[in-house]
Amino acid sequence: MVQGPALWTMLSILVVVMAIMYFLPKLTKAVPAGLVGIAGATLIVWAFGLETRTVGDIAKIAGSLPMPAVPAVPWNLETLKIVLPYSGILAAIGLIESLMTLNLIDEMTETRSRPNRECLAQGAANVIAGFFGTMGGCAMIGQSMININSGARHRLSGIAAALFLLSFILFGSSVIERIPLAALVGVMLMVVIGTFEWATFRTLRRVPKSDAFVILFVTIVTLLSDLAVAVILGVVVSALVFAWESAKKIEVEVKDHPNGTREYDLHGALFFASTNRFRKLFDPANDPQEVVIDFADSRVFDHSGIEAIQWVAEAYRKRGRNLHLRHLSADCRKLLHNARQMVEVNIKEDPTYKVADNELD
């Protein structure tokens, strides 16, 4: 643990680098503020002989060009079982971070990227990298933010960053290893401050409670686990919340016609989450002989919806009443046709799919 004079030195370097990155762009953008901050901190440490941890204290940067080779692992099912879970997690994290980076860059530069091409290129590059024994990668928010804030707008900036990184590994490792860690921390802190959605704190109380819960839930899971797990669980929770909210919106408008027929105009989606409410919308014991359910403003989405219709139809059948379905869309009719062995209700045809007249046929 860093303490004493070394701690104060690191904090001082950290503050100086952050100040340079904040104020220098207000004066000029001819020179990247991050580069000036890192170079300045390195020179100060070297000139005054300050004691602080450097990149070289963590790892050695020097390396050589990798040579192509087939991974020396057994090509069998056991290897696949070991590799597949980790590769899936890394691929998910890489894609998520890349898409988040592209979205952020599009907002900053007011441009429109091509995520599909980016994902395909990234996947192909990572597969090829595996045959050179190198580590996979993805679009990085930190580096992209530094490039954009330094004035980069074209693909050449990414190529230049890769070539400079390669040159550092091959030729300039001794220089890079002398960079104070505090300088890099200062740069990344400024990147975090720039990318963090500070408006979340203002809108968190105004958005629906379900959305606020999902935001906090994903944040906590990310801290406790990783980004891939957090996103997957966040999607699941969001889907469940959406299903719950959609289920509460199903309702009917009851119309009694002069010929003694009662019509239920159904509004909302009929699926697994809304079936219980759907069943409670009807009154088979007190309804007349002829009952119509109008689906002009509703859709049947899954097997649970079919079962709910069957339950309602059976309730009317037991009481000797006739149930008709009207204004079913083509996809709903197909769904019911596929389940015709289970659902036995009278579907009133409406080939023009128009709203029915007040008088039933």
d(Cα 262, Cα 286) in Å, to the nearest integer? 11
Tokens matching residue 62: 């020097």
Give the three-class secondary structure for 261.
coil
| pLDDT recorded at residue 342 | 45
Say what the pLDDT of residue 346 is: 52
Return the pLDDT at 350: 45
What is d(CA 336, CA 11) in angstroms, rounded to the nearest whole number? 69
| pLDDT the model gives residue 352 | 41
Q: Where are the domains of the chain?
A: 1-61+153-196, 67-139, 200-237, 248-348
Three-state DSSP at 59 gives: coil
pLDDT given at position 101: 86
* Dist CA 146 CA 24 (whole Å): 14
Below-50 pLDDT ranges, the chain? 339, 341-344, 350-361
pLDDT at residue 282, as a whole number: 92
Alpha-carbon distance 139 to 143, whole Å? Answer: 8
Structure tokens given for 229: 């797990």
User: Within the chain, what is the greatest distance between any pair of CA atoms?
Assistant: 99
> For 236-257, b where at least 16 C-beta lie within 10 A, e where not — what string?
ebbeebeeeeebeebebeeeee
- Domain 248-348 matching CATH 3.40.47.10: the answer reads no
pLDDT in tens, 45-83: 888 888 888 888 888 888 888 888 888 888 899 999 999
Tokens of 193: 């401050």
pLDDT at residue number 2 = 67
Q: What is the pLDDT of residues 228-280, one digit of tens each?
A: 788 889 889 998 888 888 888 888 999 999 988 999 999 988 888 888 899 99
Residue 335: the pLDDT is 64
C-beta of residue 361 within 8 angstroms of C-beta of residue 327: no
Dihedral class, residue 353 (left if φ above 0, else alpha if ψ from -120 to 50, else beta):
left
Q: Indicate the pTM of the whole model.
A: 0.61
286 token code pair: 């007190």
- Sheet strand arrangement including 290-300: 251-256, 262-270, 290-300, 322-326, 346-348
What's the pLDDT score for residue 356?
A: 38
